[in-house]
Chain A
Amino acid sequence: MSKIVEIDAVTKIYGGSVLAVDDLSLAIEEGEFVTLLGPSGCGKTTLLRMLAGFESPDRGRIRLAGEDVTDRPPYRRDVNMVFQDYALFPHLSVAKNVAFGLERQRLDRAEIARRVGDALALVGLADKAERRPHELSGGQRQRVALARAIVRRPKVLLLDEPLSALDANLREAMQVELKHLHEKLGLTFVMVTHDQTEALVMSDRIVLMKDGRIAQVGAPAELYNNPATPYVASFIGTSNLLPARISAIADGRALIAFSGTRCHVPAPTGSAAGQNLMVGLRPEKLRLATATDMAGEGRQILDVTVEESLFHGNSVRLRCAAPGGDILLVDCQLTQSQVTIPAGGASVRLAFNEADLNVFGADDRT
């Protein structure tokens, strides 16, 4: 595996003062599916547009397959983009849209026709070649945009919120389809999205961004299970973030107190007894304890009062109040329809494993 994209200390400032991308470095391996994830304004789209060449960085370099492309215009870069609202040429047929980028390459007509045919067949639109874009549905336009971008066999395929304009069902189907397409083509995909589910389902690696910087990079499961900061924990999935305090530290393990309980966790680097910190606990890692469940062997028990229960069909989300006043969300999978759902006001015992706690240092409270 070699590095196909290297982003080296790139900074982009808009209008002299708005820092869109802040000294960001990132390397992308060939054939990877990387997602740039983050809320709007985090700089993910700017970063993608800099890869495409629509924006130029104020500082830093961008290399593509080892070549410095920082100062090259978009039409001299071996990348192609799937635009958010597809950007299909309305005056051209589907086939002409797909052929658009090939006509500049020195290919003969037969070769162009063959490659356009292949690309359209790949996205399942071989029979729509002569249609105009406005005669197609949203999902079909999306496929045309995809065919148009892959037909030139770019080194990197850029996708700018490719599924955001589709309705929920279609979006889910396209997620899977895009993932399969990625596996089939072996191309490097770089996708921008603000939808964490999309990122989790599709990516090999997620780059979670915040304020123009990378908050955390890693495989979806790594970001979900080991979030580096409370921000990551709350952006990807849901997390109960609770203030905690270190009671004692010994042998690299800390005894922390929160929400009326005490746990042993690996001590965060540079922490000391008496320090305040933050712990995160995913709602599905908490479960209703039976009367025989006891604390011990890394298991902890919390006594809480149910304030509200929300029925989701396959699960129920409980909003519970811990003795200290902390609010805890608990997701219970309804694996059997006979499971009794605690009513509001009921006192219940919750069990969780210490290993499922995410401990954040006080300084990454954001």
Chain B
Amino acid sequence: MTRDRALRSVVLATPLVWAVAFMFVPYLIIFTYSFWLKQYPTFVPAFQFGNYLQLLVDPQYYQVLLRTAKIAILVALSALAIAYPFAYYLVFKVTSARLRLTLYMAVIAPLWVSYLLRAYIWKTILGSEGVINSFLVWIGILDTPTDIFLYNQFSMVVTLTYIFIPFMVMPIYTALEKIPRNLIEASKDLGVGPFGTLFKVIWPLSLPGVFAGMTFAFCLTFGDFVAPFLVGGPDGVMVANVITSQYGAALNWPLGSALAIVMLIIVLGIIELSDRFERSGRINLA
């Protein structure tokens, strides 16, 4: 009895201790840093809001936040634009269960490939020596390779969309699959054609999956620093890169921490918002 209880405590306590020691404590340390003062060559303990103020007034910082948000929104929308029709096709058009599983796995499989590799692939596709350029030169549209495809926000959105599409497909697929087929039949029975049924029945009922997927894509993009590093170029710098440099070369941990806290708040805000949306739109399908 006591041994069972002891065992249970250990089982429950382990993840808790883990989360506290390796998540909450580091967050707390970063939170503390965000109030410290930069003093050449390093920084000293203090309690002041100068770092946060700097983020608000210095265009260099709030613009990077806005740019990151813009890219995150573009990624979420383009991933949705690709993932939704795909998931729709899988759930409603593919009749063979085997083919459906194969296609689904084909989308999910890249998750097992190194993230770095997946980002790097796009360098070889979009680069001046890359697949697209070679092709355009070969068919004669271009005389010389162009560098317009790589090292800009476009290449970032393309790369990140590709990387985060599985996170969009999964929840949408699940949401679509949960829609009872007889609701679709009922819609058609009431004289509403395939498009009307899509907009009036299927889309509203799949919104929880859409919200979940958009949240994934937005939040994951918001914190990403590899894609900007590999395919971003000068105008593709995002928040995470700025934080990296504040902790590195700039040796301004207090400012980096303030930026990290702002980022955390934005992401948590988005998650909370999407959760509320999902809750209010939650529909009793039973």
Residues of A within 8 A of B (CB): 52-54, 73-76, 79-81, 83-85, 87-91, 100-101, 104-105, 132-134, 148, 152
Using Cβ atoms and an 8 Å threshold, which residues of chain B touch A134?
Answer: 283-284, 286
Using Cβ atoms and an 8 Å threshold, which residues of chain A touch B191?
Answer: 75-76, 101, 104-105, 152
Of B188, B196, B283, which is within 8 A of A73 by CB?
Answer: B188
Of B186, B189, B193, B281, which is within 8 A of A89 by CB?
Answer: B186
What are the nearest 8 A-B pairs in CB distance?
Answer: A101-B190, A134-B284, A87-B186, A87-B182, A74-B188, A90-B283, A75-B188, A91-B204
Question: Are the C-beta atoms of B283 and A91 separated by less than 8 Å?
Answer: yes
Contact with A along B181-202 (1 / 0, CB 8 A): 0110111111111001000110
Asked if B180 lies at the interface with its beta carbon under 8 angstroms from chain A, I say yes
Of B182, B187, B193, which is within 8 A of A100 by CB?
Answer: B187
Question: Are the C-beta atoms of B200 and A100 separated by less than 8 Å?
Answer: yes
How far does the Cβ of A137 sit from chain B's closest Cβ, in whole Å?
14
Using Cβ atoms and an 8 Å threshold, which residues of chain B touch A52?
Answer: 185, 189
Of A54, A76, A79, A133, which is within 8 A of B185 by CB?
Answer: A54
Of B182, B196, B284, B286, which is within 8 A of A83 by CB?
Answer: B182
How far does the Cβ of A170 sit from chain B's closest Cβ, in whole Å?
19
Question: Are the C-beta atoms of A90 and B188 separated by less than 8 Å?
Answer: no
Using Cβ atoms and an 8 Å threshold, which residues of chain A touch B281?
Answer: 91
Asked if B205 lies at the interface with its beta carbon under 8 angstroms from chain A, I say yes
Using Cβ atoms and an 8 Å threshold, which residues of chain A touch B193?
Answer: 73, 75
Complex: A133 Cα to B192 Cα, angstroms: 20
Complex: A54 Cα to B184 Cα, angstroms: 11
Using Cβ atoms and an 8 Å threshold, which residues of chain A touch B196?
Answer: 104
Which residue of chain A is the closest to B286 with respect to CB atoms?
Answer: A134
Complex: A133 Cα to B196 Cα, angstroms: 21
Complex: A53 Cα to B189 Cα, angstroms: 8
Complex: A99 Cα to B211 Cα, angstroms: 28
Question: Are the C-beta atoms of A90 and B187 separated by less than 8 Å?
Answer: no
Question: Are the C-beta atoms of A89 and B185 separated by less than 8 Å?
Answer: no
Complex: A101 Cα to B204 Cα, angstroms: 17
Using Cβ atoms and an 8 Å threshold, which residues of chain A touch B200?
Answer: 100
**How many of B's residues come within 8 Å of A, CB to CB?**
22
Q: Which residue of A53, A100, A132 has the most chain B CB atoms within 10 A of its CB atom?
A: A100
Complex: A88 Cα to B189 Cα, angstroms: 12
Q: Which residue of B182, B186, B201 has the most chain A CB atoms within 10 A of its CB atom?
A: B186
Question: Are the C-beta atoms of B189 and A80 separated by less than 8 Å?
Answer: yes
Using Cβ atoms and an 8 Å threshold, which residues of chain B touch A88?
Answer: 186
Asked if B285 lies at the interface with its beta carbon under 8 angstroms from chain A, I say yes
Using Cβ atoms and an 8 Å threshold, which residues of chain B touch A80?
Answer: 189-190
Contact with A along B243-286 (1 / 0, CB 8 A): 00000000000000000000000000000000000000101111
Q: Which residue of B189, B205, B283, B284 has the most chain A CB atoms within 10 A of its CB atom?
A: B189
Question: Are the C-beta atoms of B186 and A83 separated by less than 8 Å?
Answer: yes
Question: Are the C-beta atoms of A85 and B201 separated by less than 8 Å?
Answer: no
Using Cβ atoms and an 8 Å threshold, which residues of chain A touch B283?
Answer: 90-91, 134
How far does the Cβ of B270 sit from chain A's closest Cβ, in whole Å?
24
Question: Are the C-beta atoms of A148 and B185 separated by less than 8 Å?
Answer: no
Which residues of B203-231 are within 8 A (CB) of A?
204-205
Using Cβ atoms and an 8 Å threshold, which residues of chain A touch B190?
Answer: 75, 80, 100-101, 104, 148, 152
Given A75-B190, A148-B190, 5 other A-B residues pairs in contact with their CB atoms under 8 A: A53-B189, A73-B188, A74-B188, A75-B193, A87-B183
Using Cβ atoms and an 8 Å threshold, which residues of chain A touch B185?
Answer: 52, 54, 74, 81, 83, 87
Q: Which residue of A79, A80, A87 has the most chain B CB atoms within 10 A of its CB atom?
A: A87
Question: Are the C-beta atoms of B186 and A90 separated by less than 8 Å?
Answer: no
Using Cβ atoms and an 8 Å threshold, which residues of chain A touch B192?
Answer: 75, 100-101, 104
Question: Are the C-beta atoms of B189 and A81 separated by less than 8 Å?
Answer: yes
Which residue of chain A is the closest to B179 with respect to CB atoms?
Answer: A90
Which residue of chain B is the closest to A151 with respect to CB atoms?
Answer: B190
How far does the Cβ of B184 sit from chain A's closest Cβ, in whole Å?
9
Which residue of chain A is the closest to B281 with respect to CB atoms?
Answer: A91
How far does the Cβ of B90 sit from chain A's closest Cβ, in whole Å?
21
* Given known contacts A100-B200, A104-B196, A90 and B285 CB-to-CB distance under 8 angstroms: yes
How far does the Cβ of A87 sit from chain B's closest Cβ, in whole Å?
4
Using Cβ atoms and an 8 Å threshold, which residues of chain A touch B204?
Answer: 91
Which residues of B108-124 are within 8 A (CB) of A?
none
Complex: A354 Cα to B137 Cα, angstroms: 98
Using Cβ atoms and an 8 Å threshold, which residues of chain B touch A91?
Answer: 204-205, 281, 283
Which residue of chain B is the closest to A85 with respect to CB atoms?
Answer: B182
How far does the Cβ of B92 sit from chain A's closest Cβ, in whole Å?
14
Using Cβ atoms and an 8 Å threshold, which residues of chain A touch B189?
Answer: 52-53, 74-75, 79-81, 101
Complex: A101 Cα to B281 Cα, angstroms: 23
Using Cβ atoms and an 8 Å threshold, which residues of chain B touch A100?
Answer: 187, 190, 192, 200
Using Cβ atoms and an 8 Å threshold, which residues of chain B touch A101?
Answer: 189-192
Listed by A's residue number, 6 A-B pairs whose Cβ atoms lie within 8 Å are: A53-B188, A83-B185, A90-B285, A101-B190, A148-B186, A148-B190
Which residue of chain B is the closest to A104 with respect to CB atoms?
Answer: B191
